Amino acid sequence: MIQEVVFPSGKVAYYFDCSAEEMLREELNAIFLTDENVFRLHEAFFEGKKVIRIAPGEAGKTLSNVELICEQLVALEATRETILVGVGGGVITDIAGFVAAVYMRGIKCTFVPTSLLAMVDAAIGGKNGVDMGLHKNMIGTVRQPQSIYFDIEFLQTLPDDEWKNGFAEVIKYACIFDHELFEKLEKRDATHFKTSRTALKGLVQRCADWKNKTVVNDELETGERKLLNFGHTAGHAIETLYHLPHGQAVAVGMMIAARIGEKKGVSKELVSTRLEKLLQRYGLPVATPYKTEDVMSLLRMDKKRSGDEIQYILMEEIGKGIIRRLSFATIEEVLRKYENND
Ligand SMILES: NC(=O)c1ccc[n+]([C@@H]2O[C@H](COP(=O)([O-])OP(=O)(O)OC[C@H]3O[C@@H](n4cnc5c(N)ncnc54)[C@H](O)[C@@H]3O)[C@@H](O)[C@H]2O)c1
């Protein structure tokens, strides 16, 4: 099924429920970027193709890897006609998008997301980039790929922990946009989505639609796109400091945001209790040990900071996110209250 989404900076063709192998078979100008895990588990997919491989994981999202990949593109005689195809999780789609934006001042790129997290979130929306030391996604651009191929067959090899990371982002959409999805997730569990192709395809497309809708209206994140950062502000700090997987850190970040919303009287209902149960249902943590001072020092360097305040995403009610300017003192108070909650 093809869906064309028109962003301010360009059109993207979304191929839902497709075989990426079939779709890309005739693509003679393609050079593929993937990580060693995805390559090893899906070797047949890469047979006969020009492939650049990097080590798996967040540690690969660096400027030095960008340079190495560009060197390999030169060695493979990539020209301005080349299409860089990122096949992998969010690390690969982020770095492939960035390399494509800067190699020869820009070549085309296409994504084949292979993790649930990349299918529902990372591959969509045009943000790309790399980390710089402790600063996640510090260097990057906003540039759309020409197409995205959603092939859920790849998920058959996805490890359990990576499913959990993906579900954290699914739960994020439910919290900020989609009360009905929240209720559906409450009734079902991870096994249901892992075993029912129809349910999984529906879930991926529903989340992709939410992300598309938000980014079409606000590609450069001056307004509503910020809602997608729900759980990510404290979440990113915790991920960086304690090396928690992205989804787990976002889960803890969502709990912190829910509690801040309740403390500030922004939330109309006790959102944190329902969120806590839902996160646990999908195997996600609701707390982790952290040091408030360390989290605060990273938050003070956050891109959303302005003076003594930071824009924070809270939940007004289940299914409705809201952007609020908060003082660092407010955040610190809540962080301290739950500091030893492990
Ligand atoms: N650009 C954006 O808008 C955006 C949004 C959300 C997240 N992100 C970024 O995405 C990254 C996280 O994405 P991720 O969780 O996919 O990380 P990832 O790319 O590191 O993948 C997670 C792990 O799963 C493995 N994997 C991927 N697909 C697999 C498969 N089909 N079978 C077996 N193993 C597989 C990878 O090798 C890796 O070990 C972070 O860097 C985050 O910053 C970007």
- Is 322 among the domain residues? yes
- Which residues carry out catalysis? 105, 127, 169, 211, 221, 225, 229, 232, 236, 246
pLDDT at residue 15 greater than cutoff 90:
yes
Q: Are residues 174 and 303 in the same domain?
A: yes
Query: Which residues' Cβ are closer than 6 Å to ligand 1?
Result: 35, 37-38, 41, 56-58, 61, 88-92, 94, 114-115, 117-118, 121-122, 125, 127-128, 136-137, 154-155, 157-159, 162, 165, 246
Q: Give me ligand 1 centre to Cα 86, in Å.
A: 11
Residue whose CA is at the smallest distance from ligand 1 atom 42: 90
CA dihedral sign, ordered 134, 138, 140, 143: positive
What is the reported pLDDT for 304? 77
Q: Are residues 95 and 14 in the same domain?
A: yes
What is the reported pLDDT for 341? 57
Of 158, 188, 204, the one marking the end of a domain is: 158
Q: Are residues 244 and 274 in the same domain?
A: yes
Residue whose CA is at the smallest distance from ligand 1 atom 4: 122
Q: Give me ligand 1 centre to Cα 215, in Å.
A: 20
What is the reported pLDDT for 60? 92
What is the reported pLDDT for 122? 96
Residue 112: C-alpha distances to residues 62, 86, 149, 177 (Å): 21, 6, 5, 25
- How would you class 47 by CB atoms within 10 Å of its CB: exposed for 0-12, middle for 13-18, buried for 19 or more? exposed
Over residues 31-53, the mean pLDDT reads: 97
Q: d(Cα 237, Cα 311) in Å, to the nearest integer?
A: 15
Over residues 132-159, the mean pLDDT reads: 94
Q: Give me ligand 1 centre to Cα 247, in Å.
A: 10
Beta-sheet pairing, 30-35 with 83-88: parallel
Q: Are residues 112 and 166 in the same domain?
A: no
Q: Are residues 170 and 64 in the same domain?
A: no
Whether the CB-CB separation of 342 and 291 falls below 8 Å is answered with no
Residue whose CA is at the smallest distance from ligand 1 atom 18: 89
Q: Are residues 320 and 205 in the same domain?
A: yes
Over residues 90-97, the mean pLDDT reads: 98
Whether the CB-CB separation of 98 and 140 falls below 8 Å is answered with yes
Helix (H, G, I), strand (E, B) or coil at 197: helix
What is the reported pLDDT for 297? 93
| CATH number of the structural domain spanning residue 192 | 1.20.1090.10
Domain range for 330 is 161-337
Q: d(Cα 130, Cα 301) in Å, to the nearest integer?
A: 17
- Is 180 among the domain residues? yes
Q: Kindly report the length of the chain.
A: 342
Residue whose CA is at the smallest distance from ligand 1 atom 8: 122
Confidence tier at 28 by pLDDT (50, 70, 90): confident
Per-residue DSSP letter, 121: I
Mutual orientation of helices 197-217 and 160-176 as an angle, nearest 10°? 50
What is the reported pLDDT for 270? 85
Per-residue DSSP letter, 92: H
Confidence tier at 305 by pLDDT (50, 70, 90): confident
The pTM of the full predicted model, rounded to 2 decimals, is 0.95
Percent of the chain with pLDDT over 90: 89
Confidence tier at 234 by pLDDT (50, 70, 90): very high
What φ, ψ does residue 165 adopt, rounded to 5°?
-60, -40
Q: Give me ligand 1 centre to Cα 154, in Å.
A: 13
State how many domains the chain has. 2
